[in-house]
Structure 1
Amino acid sequence: MKVVYFLVAILALTSCVASAYDPSPLQDFCVALNDTKNAVFVNGKICKDPKLVKAEDFFRHVEPGNTSNPLGAQVTQVFVDQLPGLNTLGVSLARIDFAPKGLNPPHIHHRGTEILIVIEGTLYVGFVTSNQDNNRLFTKVLNKGDVFVFPIGLIHFQLNVGYGNAIAIAGLSSQSPGTITIANTLFNATPPISTEVLTKAFQVDKSTIAYLQKQFWYNNNN
C-alpha cells in the first residue's frame, strides 16, 4: 500500500513540474549573469514603488504620424517604453497613419498577436502562414470599422488602397511585442549578412543582392 501512495505522490509531483514554464520573453535576449553588480537588463521592467505611482504613468497622448517618408506610412508605438503603466499587463497598441498608397511593409511581431481596426480609409491587409502550413496568404480589404487579426509571429502587412489618408489602431498581446521588418532585417543588417547566404536564399545573383544592400531602408516605427 505504501508503494501505491509513493507512486501517486511521484505522479502528482511530476504533473506539477510539467505544468511549470518560463514566461514569454519581453526582449530579444537576456544573457544570464551571476555577478549582480553588473546586471542591467531584466525580462521586463523593474517596478516603480506603488506609493510613487501617479495617473501620468498610465497616460500618453498620441499625435498623428508623419507620412512624408519613402513608405508613406508611420507607426506610432505605445509600448511599455512609451507608456510605463503597461508594465506586466501584457498589452500595448500602435497608431498607424497612411498617406495615399502608403505601406506598412511586411514585418512580424515575434512576441505578440495583433488585432487591427480601421478608423479611416481603406486598407488591403494580409498575413502569410508558416512553412508547415505551406505559406498560405490570407488577405482582406478593410474599410472604416473593420477588424482583422494577425497571429503572433507571422509575416503581415497593410497597404492603403484608398484615394485619401487612412488611419488604423493596432492592439497587441504583449507590453513589448517587438517588430522585425523583413527587408530592413535582411538587407540592412549590421554587419551585412553574407552575400553567399542571400544569393542562395533568394535564388538571385550577387549584383541584385549588392543593389538591395545599398538601398536606404526606412524604419517607419517610432
Structure 2
Amino acid sequence: MVVLLVNGKFCKDPTLATAEDFYFTVLNQRKETNNPFGFNVTFGNVDNVPGLNTLGLSFARADVGVNGQVPPHYHPRASEILGVSEGTLLAGFVSDQRLFTKTLNVGDVFVFPQGVIHFVVNIGEVPAVAFASLNSQNPGTIFIADTVFGSNPSINPKFLAKAFQLDSTIIMKPRTIFV
C-alpha cells in the first residue's frame, strides 16, 4: 500500500472521498469570549476539513465580545478577507509603518495582505461576528505579544527594553502574562 502525502497531509484515494470530507458545521455556533482579549476564533482548515487539502483555502468565524479584540497577529502563508455579519468592528493593519484602518459594519469586508500585522477591535455596543476566508489551507497565525513575550527560553529583557525603547522593569510585566 502506498501512502501519498500532499502538503504534509494524507491524501485520500478520490474514489473513497465522501461529502463529509468537504463539510464543516460549527460556524453557526456562538463561542464564549470570556478571556483576557474578549474573542474566540473557530477555524476551518485542512486539519478539520480534509477536502481542503491542496485547494489553498481555509476559513474562520470570529466572535468578538463588547470591547474585545483579536490582538495584533499575522498569517505568514495567507492573505485574508474579513466580512462582518453582526456588530461593528474596527479592522486594521500596518504595512511599511503605515496604519490602514476602517470601521466595518454588517456586510462590509476588509482585506489583510499576506504577512502584515493586523487586528480587529469591537467598537460597537453588542457582540460582533465576522467570517474570514484565507488563501491557504494552512495559513498559520503568529500573535505578536505571545511570540515576543512568551518565547521559551525568554528573550533577554535588556534586548526587549532596547527594541521597544522601554525601561527593562516595564518589559518584565508582559513577560509574566505571556509565559
Report the counterpart of residue 72 of structure 1 in structure 2.
Answer: 38
Offset at 1:216?
4.3
Larger Rg computed on CA atoms? 1
Deviation track 1:55-114 (CA, whole Å, cap 9, x = no partner) reads 111111113221111111111111111211100000110000011111000100110000
Report the counterpart of residue 18 of structure 2 in structure 1.
Answer: 54
Greater percentage in strand: 2
CA contact (8 A) 1:44 1:87 kept: no
* Aligned pairs (5 A) from 1:103-142: 103-130=69-96, 135-142=97-104
Runs (5+) with no aligned partner, structure 1: 1-40, 218-222
Opposite residue 110 of structure 1, the aligned amino acid is P
C-alpha change, 1:49 and 1:145, in structure 2 (3 Å) is same
C-alpha change, 1:42 and 1:198, in structure 2 (3 Å) is farther
Identical counterparts, % of pairs: 54
Offset at 1:163?
0.3
Offset at 1:127?
0.4
Opposite residue 14 of structure 2, the aligned amino acid is P
CA contact (8 A) 2:7 2:54 kept: no
Runs (5+) with no aligned partner, structure 2: none
Report the counterpart of residue 176 of structure 1 in structure 2.
Answer: 138
Report the counterpart of residue 165 of structure 1 in structure 2.
Answer: 127
Report the counterpart of residue 105 of structure 2 in structure 1.
Answer: 143
Opposite residue 117 of structure 1, the aligned amino acid is G
* Aligned pairs (5 A) from 1:11-26: none
User: For 1:174, what is the secondary structure of its paired residue?
Assistant: coil
Offset at 1:46?
2.6
1:215 pairs with 2:171: no
**RMSD between aligned residues:** 1.4
Offset at 1:51?
2.1
User: For 1:212, what is the secondary structure of its paired residue?
Assistant: helix
CA contact (8 A) 1:44 1:88 kept: no
User: For 1:106, what is the secondary structure of its paired residue?
Assistant: strand
Q: 1:185 aligns with which of 130, 133, 147?
A: 147
CA contact (8 A) 1:115 1:172 kept: yes
Distance 1:85 1:116 in 2: 22
Q: How many residues align?
A: 173
Opposite residue 180 of structure 1, the aligned amino acid is I
Question: TM-score, normalized by length of structure 1?
Answer: 0.75
CA contact (8 A) 2:38 2:68 kept: yes
Task: Name segments (4+ residues, structure 1) moved above 6 Å.
Answer: none
